[in-house]
Structure formats: structure tokens, C-alpha cells
Structure 1
Amino acid sequence: MAIYYIDRKTGETREEIVAGDQFLQWLYRTGSGSFFLETLIKRKFFSALYGKYQDTGQSRKKIKGFVQSLAIDLSEAKIEDIGKYSTFNEFFTRELKPSRRPLCNQPEALISPADGRVFAWENIDIDLMVQVKGLAYTLADLLQDQALALAYSGGTCLVIRLCPADYHRFHFPDSGVPGPPQQIKGSYYSVNPLALHKIIRLYCRNKRELTVFRSDHFGDMLLLEVGATCVGSIIQTYSANQHVAKGSEKGYFKFGGSTVIVLFKKDRVKLDEDILDHTVSGFETKILMGERLGVKLK
């Protein structure tokens, strides 16, 4: 199953380079793989153990092959020389040169909180949230809070899927005051489209962290980071209840593909039409942290 997305800069349809594609095909498309997935791979101890290995000196041997197979642009990184990383996770969570992720300077613009591939929906039905075509989940199930879900009925939802090749730090999409992160326990399925087409209510079943963010231009919004297979940790680096600037770092994912979900209340933001149009057509749009995704609704 090939995965295609729209490159926002060029408008071209591109095929995604999938890390571990054959392994994922086996896990999510065969009976033996499914058994292995349910008995081992989705469980916390497997991802925790694998994550710990990525923090060892032995893991640094993987960096060169990882860079080559996924065509990672090292010129973006603050540290370009892979020999200077002591572990694989140190490379995976690498910081980028600020000049390579300029922030949209429009005062009332919403910026992307992460690099990735985005789906976007306006006027959401909280009882029929879209995972992929034919599969849905409820917002209350995702948030584990019925009252909070009701507050976002008719609002806007962004789902940003990070691939292993992407920059894995996530940021605040506006200035404002973030509350403390709330951990929601769960499993560790992949967030690759192969898994999204196979596992019902996947986002509601995986480990995730929820932050209520009182933004300066869009009111209260919800920021969720969803873990995935081999994501050893979701690390929050911000200080709760202190004002943050637009684009400042919120945290990072250790090894593995991951997802950031952003939710807005009704009539708070107008998303850019190209992203909405691509979603209707069934394509994710490739975006970079700091890019404009929409503007404050007047």
C-alpha cells in the first residue's frame, strides 16, 4: 500500500518513503503479523524497552543508514555532523537551525506546531470524528472527558502525522498560556496509514497527552500528542501556567512516528483552503513547523 501526500510548496503529489515498510506490511496485513502485534508490539514494555536501546551508545550505529534510507537533510540541523551524536535518540530529537523553520509573521495567523502531514476538518461532529475514510471515533473517547468534548462541538480539528524522517520537536501554534499536560494511558500502535486503516479508534487506543492551551488569538484550544510504536517517551519541555511565545518549543517525541492533534472551538479559526481541499480529496498536505495554516476568524 503506497502512501501519497501533497507537497504544499510545489502542489505535487508525492509518494512517502516509509521506514520499515515491509515490517509494517507484515504486522498490519497478515495473520501472523497481527498476532505478533497484539501480543507484543502494541504493549508498553516493548516500546519502553526499544526506546531505552535508542538511548544507548550502541544505537548511534543506526544513524547513518537511517539518514540515507529516508533522505534526511542534515543541513537543517544545528549539529550537521552525525558523528557528534552519542545516541540514536539524540539524533532523532535533534534541534534545527531557526532559519530553517521561519515563523509566519502575520499577528493573527495560526502556525503549524510541527513538521508532518496534515488532515483538517471544520465544523466537526464530535460523535463522528474522521480517522480515515470509513473509520471514525468520538471526541469524548479521544479526550476521556465528555464535558470537554461538548465544548468543541462544531469546531475545527487538525491531525498532523509525523513520520520517522521528520523533525520531532513540537511547538505552540500561537502565543498564550498552557495548562499542565494530562496523561491518558493507552497502547502503542503505529500511526502509519496502514495501521489507521486497520485499527478501529486507533487514536483513542494509543497513549496520549492532553494540554488545554489558552491562546491569545484563538481562545482555548486543545493540544494532544499521540504516542506510537517504539515511541519511548513524549517529553514536555515547557513550563505550565506561564505565558509562551508563538512557535516556542512545547516538547518532543523520542524514536517513532507520532501525531499531534489540535482542536479549536466553533468560529475561532479559518483554515487555509488548500489544506481543506486536499483533505476532502483524501490527501494529507506536507507542512513544516511555523507555516501558516489559517487565521483568526473575525
Structure 2
Amino acid sequence: MTMVSNPPEIKYFNRMTNKTEVEKVYGDGFIKFLYSSALGHQVGTVFTNKYFSKIYGAFQDLPSSHSKVRPFVEKFNISIDDYEPGTRPALDPRDSYRTFNEFFIRRFKLGKRSFVAEPNRMPAFAEARYVGFDAVNERDTYPVKGQYLLAKDLVGNDQVAKIFEGGPLVIARLCPVDYHRYHYPDNGKVLDNFRVPGAYDSVNPLALKYKNQIFIKNERHVSILQTENFGRLAYIEVGAICVGKIIQSHRWNKPFMRGEEKGYFLFGGSTVVLLGEKGAWKPSADILANTAKGIETYLHLGTEVAVKN
């Protein structure tokens, strides 16, 4: 069995600290095995199908999974006081979550995050690591080869995808340590929504390096949004390994408001992809600059992620 002995560190630019930082990867040994070893390639489908992820997710709903929360919070330096406590009576908020999944879908306390209000500025719809392109084309090579970023491949519907050909794109990667609820970036309504069945590969950059079709092969939930300030958007939630479920907490047939919760992922890191109409908006300057360097930009929920053209 061949292994990549020392895979490169995952570096990202943290807008909040104005520094380049190194990501602490949850389950990094398993990811390395699955995507960079001969045996991992042979057995990979056992772990990247939806049944494994759903079974693994079910374990995070067991009362015994409560014991994982405190070590997880301490290992990854999570600012637990920023979040609402769980439903289990406890003096320490780290002990207040009845299951790991209850901790995983924790909410921010009121006032901990706010959404930019200016109509021409799009707020970050997830607390995540972002890459962005002002016009997607086959010359783009990060984070995966350009042809795998095309609208028709991401949306999985050729007719709908024509709306977004040559338009801007941002990808928000959520790590297991992150807040796992995602939100609407503007006021508007849902025009259409549908599921694209697929696999549950990891969206970790190491996995993308070895298997660059992940964003078009993984399970996806696609919503076509009509927004007040940014035209039509394709809002795509991408499933990933060990993501038990993609939950839509907002009823799709109701209007939505900027910053309103759209849904959440149960256990596992995952991704939200946002596509726009050609020329309607562009990702923020620092995201474009960092993407050109091959690194992601970490944003807090609600801070600027894009601007209207």
C-alpha cells in the first residue's frame, strides 16, 4: 500500500485575524487513507455512499455521543460561549448538548453575528472558507479543474444551468468544527428546488486533489432563488462523507429575508456553492486575490462575500 507520507498543510487566509493560518483537520488520518492510498481507492465506495454516511450520522444522535462534545470543543478551540447551550441541564455549556448532533447544529447567540445591510453588498451565507470567481470558465484551475466548475455540471440540469453560464461563483467549504447552518444572502423567493443524487465523498482539499470531480458527483440540493439585489442565484448544498442529512428548515414556497436560516447539515463537513447570472455581481476583492493564489478565505457569517456590479 502506497501512502502520501507528508501531504501539504491546508492553509487559508483568515479575514478576521488578517493572517494566513493552517487548518486543523478533523479525521485527517482517515481522509489521507481514503484518498491517497492504494487500499483506500479500492474500498472507497464503501465509505462514500449515502448509506454509510446516514448510519454514521445516526450514531451522532445516540445519547452516548454526548461524551464526544467536550473533547471536540477543547481540541479545536471552539468558542463555545458564542453559541446557544443545548437542552441538557449543565453548569458548563460544553456539557449541555444531549448528543453530538445537537452540538453540531448549535446556533449562535443573538448578536454574535450580523449581516451586512447595504443592498449592493452580499453577506456571507455560511461561516466557512471561501473561493470565488467573477466569471467561471474552463481556464480556472482552483479548487478543481475548470470544467468541473461549469454551471451545467454543478446544477445537474442543462436548461436551468443556461441562466448561469459565464456567471460568478463562490464556494463555501464548511469544516466539521464550523457552525453548520446556512442562510439566505438577500431577500427574495424560491423559483425552483430539486435534488441531484450522488456520492458522499469528502470535500477536504486533499480529497479534491486526488478526486477532482467531487462537486459534480456528490449528492446536491439545488434551489433557484430570485433575489432583490443580485438577480437569480443557484444555491447548491453539497453532501459529503459522514453528512447524515441536508435539512431544509425554511419552507421553499415562502418568501425569505436576508440572513434568514435556509437549512443545516447534520454531522460532517460540507459545502455550499452559489452561482449567479453573468455580470450581476462579483466575489469580494480579497476572495478573488486569494483564490488566484490557490488559498481559501475564511469569513464570519454575515460579513461581505460579494458586491453588486
**Is the TM-score greater than 0.5?**
yes
* CA shift in 2, pair 1:128/1:234, >3 Å: farther
Q: C-alpha distance in 2, partners of 1:135/1:267?
A: 19
**Cα pair 1:135 1:201 within 8 Å, conserved:** no
**Cα pair 1:111 1:173 within 8 Å, conserved:** yes
Post-superposition Cα deviations, 1:266-294, rounded to whole Å, max 9, x if no partner, equal 11113321111011011100011101122
* CA shift in 2, pair 1:181/1:56, >3 Å: farther
Counterpart secondary structure, 1:243:
coil
Aligned to 1:285: 297
Is 1:195 the counterpart of 2:207? The answer is yes
Aligned to 1:12: 19
**Cα pair 2:142 2:291 within 8 Å, conserved:** no
**Cα pair 1:131 1:196 within 8 Å, conserved:** no
Alpha-carbon offset, residue 180 of structure 1: 4.9
1:117-136 matches, cutoff 5 A: 117-125=129-137, 130=141, 132=143, 134=145, 136=147
* CA shift in 2, pair 1:61/1:136, >3 Å: farther
**Cα pair 2:16 2:300 within 8 Å, conserved:** no
Aligned residues: 295
1:64 to 44, 67, 70: 70
Is 1:41 the counterpart of 2:72? The answer is no
Aligned to 1:51: 57
1:295 to 289, 304, 307: 307
* CA shift in 2, pair 1:58/1:135, >3 Å: farther
2:252 to 240, 246, 260: 240
Aligned to 1:104: 116
Is 1:275 the counterpart of 2:287? The answer is yes
Q: Percentage identity across aligned positions?
A: 36
Alpha-carbon offset, residue 177 of structure 1: 0.7
Structure 2 alignment gaps of length 5 or more:
1-6, 86-91
Q: TM-score scaled by structure 1?
A: 0.95
1:105-254 matches, cutoff 5 A: 105-125=117-137, 130=141, 132=143, 134=145, 136-137=147-148, 138-254=150-266
Post-superposition Cα deviations, 1:230-277, rounded to whole Å, max 9, x if no partner, equal 000000011123221100000000000000000100111133211110
Alpha-carbon offset, residue 21 of structure 1: 1.1
1:257 to 254, 269, 275: 269
Alpha-carbon offset, residue 107 of structure 1: 2.7
Post-superposition Cα deviations, 1:162-193, rounded to whole Å, max 9, x if no partner, equal 00110000000111112453111011100000
Counterpart secondary structure, 2:298:
strand
Q: TM-score scaled by structure 2?
A: 0.91
What is the root-mean-square deviation of aligned Cα atoms in Å? Answer: 1.6
Give the residue type in structure 2 aligned to 1:19.
Y
Is 1:81 the counterpart of 2:81? The answer is no
Give the residue type in structure 2 aligned to 1:47.
S
Counterpart secondary structure, 1:100:
coil
Alpha-carbon offset, residue 10 of structure 1: 2.9
Give the residue type in structure 1 aligned to 2:278.
K
